[in-house]
Amino acid sequence: MNAAGLLADQRRYFGTGVTRAAGWRREQLRALLRLLAEREDELTGALEEDLGKSRTEGFLSEVVVVRAEARYALRHLDRWMAPERIPVPGGLQPGRAWSQARPLGVVLIIGPWNYPLNLVLAPLVGALAAGNTAVLKPSELSPATSRVLARLVPEYLDREAVAVVQGGAEVSTDLLAQPFDHVFYTGGERVGKIVMKAAAEHLTPVTLELGGKSPAVVVGGDLRTAARRIAHGKFLNAAQTCVAPDYVLTTPAAAPILADALATAVRDFYGSDPSTSGDYGRIINEHHFDRLVGLLDGGTVVSGGRHERTERYIEPTVLRDVDPGSALMQEEIFGPLLPILEVGDLDEAIRFIGARPHPLAAYLFSDREEHLREFTDRVQAGGLAHNACTIQLAVPGLPFGGVGASGTGSYHGRQSFLTFSHVQPVFSKPTRMDTLRLAYPPFGPVKRRLLRRLL
Ligand code: NAD
């Protein structure tokens, strides 16, 4: 089916009003939960095939996140759908005002390869909860997950409302040429610009979930705990995570201790040779492998550094003596290289972050209240976390999205529902008493005086 035909079919179906009913929305969310529960093996198997992701990691970082989103939506749907009363000022009485969320229509969701299941199905939860139909375009770089979604989604969800389209840039281009009611894109900045331009042709609103260089600042607290949490948030999915800490900023005194503690944490998690660990993933393809190996000379490797192209394996690697002008510090790393840079104090770290494009996430490790406050007040990023990284995405009530270069719009929890809804205001007045007469021209001196007194 071509893109225009698919859109026309879904638009017709949307027009029947079936998807607006709360009952339909619930059924779809429950069906999605059944899909996740009954076909977990096929789903995590595909993730393993695409990314060498262990089944436990696939379950925790993909299946569980979508499941939590769907359960949260089911629990709150009634409240989200309920009209919200707005007070009417005296001069406009009698009358009632309220706002009510209604679905946008037919939405397009374009996903990336790094969490190919989560980043297609989590936005779908919002689209369905809000009563839309949806076209899903998973990434061609994670073909096993793409295939399994194309096979299972129509088995569980309403086929007239949800379609999976497989393919690469040409397929996306065709879809983007159509007048969807919303485009939800997750991926890199380059394609983000293409998506926004294409959507602008139809004045289609977009959500862009992009990436960026997310810093982790370590200026206090227990360094070994910080190292373990940073290593966990970074090396999950072989560090191909949009909110993974990209680099560390710490003081000269803490840097060597932190570097050692990171090496220890890596050994504790993945053993002395992570290539043999079933819990450590692989780089998505040779292109990214070569790019990452090319970044290694931006600093001195203090732990890790081994790599094997045939397996697309790169060891968790910590670097020091990093040149801030090197490619390592210019582009989003999106792989298991962790540079440690030194700053005098928290203030210098905050200024370092502020001098660069707004990151998707920013992390602070410290146990001093004034540090937490200062960082939270001064750092502009998509999201912040204190003494934790990456796992903040598992809190379904927290909105998730970027700002500036790291994206526009957000989702998760109620924010997903709002992203895929139009909050429509309604003002309703009876005709029986025309209290507006005072506002109609002509305005003589008596009317003017009265109006001034009333308003
Ligand atoms: P990708 O290459 O898989 O591309 C994403 C999607 O864009 C794919 O479906 C692809 O088919 C489509 N695409 C590619 N070229 C296109 C074109 N010319 N026109 C239209 N569509 C096209 O993924 P990627 O961009 O390599 O993803 C990695 C990036 O995504 C990183 O920057 C990462 O930080 C970011 N990311 C962000 C989030 C988030 O939630 N904010 C999550 C994951 C990844």
The 3-class secondary structure across the chain, one letter per residue, is CCHHHHHHHHHHHHHCCHHHCHHHHHHHHHHHHHHHHHCHHHHHHHHHHHHCCCHHHHHHHHHHHHHHHHHHHHHHHHHHHCCEEECCCHHHCCCEEEEEEEECCEEEEECCCCCCCHHHHHHHHHHHHCCCEEEEECCCCCHHHHHHHHHHHHHHCCCCCEEECCCCHHHHHHHHCCCCCEEEEECCHHHHHHHHHHHHCCCCCEEEECCCCCEEEECCCCHHHHHHHHHHHHHHHHHCCCCCCCEEEECCCCHHHHHHHHHHHHHHHHCCCHHHCCCCCCCCCHHHHHHHHHHHHHCEEEECCCEEHHHCEECCEEEECCCCCCHHHCCCCCCCEEEEEECCCHHHHHHHHHCCCCCCEEEEECCCHHHHHHHHHHCCCCEEEECCCCHHHHCCCCCECCCHHHEECCECCHHHHHHCEEEEEEEECCCCCCHHHHHCCCCCHHHHHHHHHHC
Residue range 42-59: mean pLDDT, rounded: 95
Q: How many whole angstroms from its chain centre is CA 90?
A: 43
Q: Is the pLDDT reported for residue 251 higher than 90?
A: yes
Taking the CA of residue 194 as reference, the ligand 1 atom at the shortest distance is 19
171 lines ligand 1 (CB under 6 A): no
Label residue 388 exposed, middle or buried (CB < 10 Å: 0-12, 13-18, 19+): middle
More confident residue, 454 or 83: 83
Dist CA 82 CA 105 (whole Å) = 19
Confidence label for 455 from pLDDT (cuts 50, 70 and 90): confident
Confidence label for 91 from pLDDT (cuts 50, 70 and 90): confident
pTM metric for this prediction: 0.95
Q: What percent of the chain shows pLDDT beyond 70?
A: 100
Residue range 197-211: mean pLDDT, rounded: 98
194 lines ligand 1 (CB under 6 A): yes
Instruction: Please tell me the distance between residue 77's alpha carbon and the centre of ligand 1 in angstroms.
Output: 30
- At position 380, the amino acid (one-letter code) is Q
186 lines ligand 1 (CB under 6 A): yes
Q: Is the pLDDT reported for residue 438 higher than 90?
A: no
Q: Which of 51, 62, 114, 393 to mutate to test the pocket of ligand 1 (most atoms within 8 A of CB)?
A: 114
Nearest CA owner, ligand 1 atom 40: 209
Q: What is the pLDDT of residue 454?
A: 80
187 lines ligand 1 (CB under 6 A): yes
338 lines ligand 1 (CB under 6 A): no
CATH number attached to the domain at 3-210+405-424: 3.40.605.10
Q: What is the pLDDT of residue 307?
A: 98
pLDDT tens sequence across 401-418: 999 999 999 999 999 999
Are 310 and 282 in contact, with CB atoms under 8 Å apart?
Answer: no
pLDDT tens sequence across 326-375: 999 999 999 999 999 999 999 999 999 999 999 999 999 999 999 999 99
Instruction: Please tell me the distance between residue 191's alpha carbon and the centre of ligand 1 in angstroms.
Output: 7
Confidence label for 434 from pLDDT (cuts 50, 70 and 90): confident
Cis bond upstream, residue 205 (ω within 30): no
Instruction: Please tell me the distance between residue 333's alpha carbon and the centre of ligand 1 in angstroms.
Output: 14
User: What are the backbone angles phi and psi of residue 181, rounded to the nearest 5°?
Assistant: -90, -15
Per-domain boundaries in the chain: 3-210+405-424, 215-401
Are 359 and 213 in contact, with CB atoms under 8 Å apart?
Answer: yes
Dist CA 145 CA 416 (whole Å) = 23
pLDDT tens sequence across 100-156: 999 999 999 999 999 999 999 999 999 999 999 999 999 999 999 999 999 999 999
Q: Is the pLDDT reported for residue 286 higher than 80?
A: yes
Q: What is the pLDDT of residue 387?
A: 98
110 lines ligand 1 (CB under 6 A): yes
Dist CA 146 CA 137 (whole Å) = 8
Dist CA 395 CA 413 (whole Å) = 9
Confidence label for 224 from pLDDT (cuts 50, 70 and 90): very high
Q: What is the pLDDT of residue 429?
A: 94
Mean pLDDT check: name the lowest of 17-31, 64-78, 176-190, 435-449: 435-449
Taking the CA of residue 141 as reference, the ligand 1 atom at the shortest distance is 3
Dist CA 45 CA 39 (whole Å) = 10
50 lines ligand 1 (CB under 6 A): no
Q: Is the pLDDT reported for residue 45 higher than 90?
A: yes
The verdict on whether 209 is a catalytic residue reads: yes
What is the SS3 string spanning 405-417? HHEECCECCHHHH
The full length of the chain comes to 455
Q: What is the pLDDT of residue 415?
A: 97
Nearest CA owner, ligand 1 atom 2: 112
Instruction: Please tell me the distance between residue 110's alpha carbon and the centre of ligand 1 in angstroms.
Output: 8
Q: Is the pLDDT reported for residue 312 higher than 70?
A: yes
Which of these, 365, 361, 72, 50, lies nearest to 215 by C-alpha position? 361
User: What are the backbone angles phi and psi of residue 34, rounded to the nearest 5°?
Assistant: -65, -40
Q: What is the pLDDT of residue 1?
A: 66
- At position 199, the amino acid (one-letter code) is A
User: What are the backbone angles phi and psi of residue 26, rounded to the nearest 5°?
Assistant: -65, -45
Instruction: Please tell me the distance between residue 300's alpha carbon and the centre of ligand 1 in angstroms.
Output: 30
The yes/no answer on whether domain 215-401 falls in CATH 3.40.309.10 is yes
* Catalytic residue of the set 69, 209, 315, 332: 209
Scan for tokens 């993933």, then name that residue.
Answer: 281
Scan for tokens 């035909």, then name that residue.
Answer: 5
Q: For the chain, what is the mean pLDDT?
A: 96
The verdict on whether 242 is a catalytic residue reads: yes
Nearest CA owner, ligand 1 atom 27: 187
Q: What is the pLDDT of residue 236?
A: 95
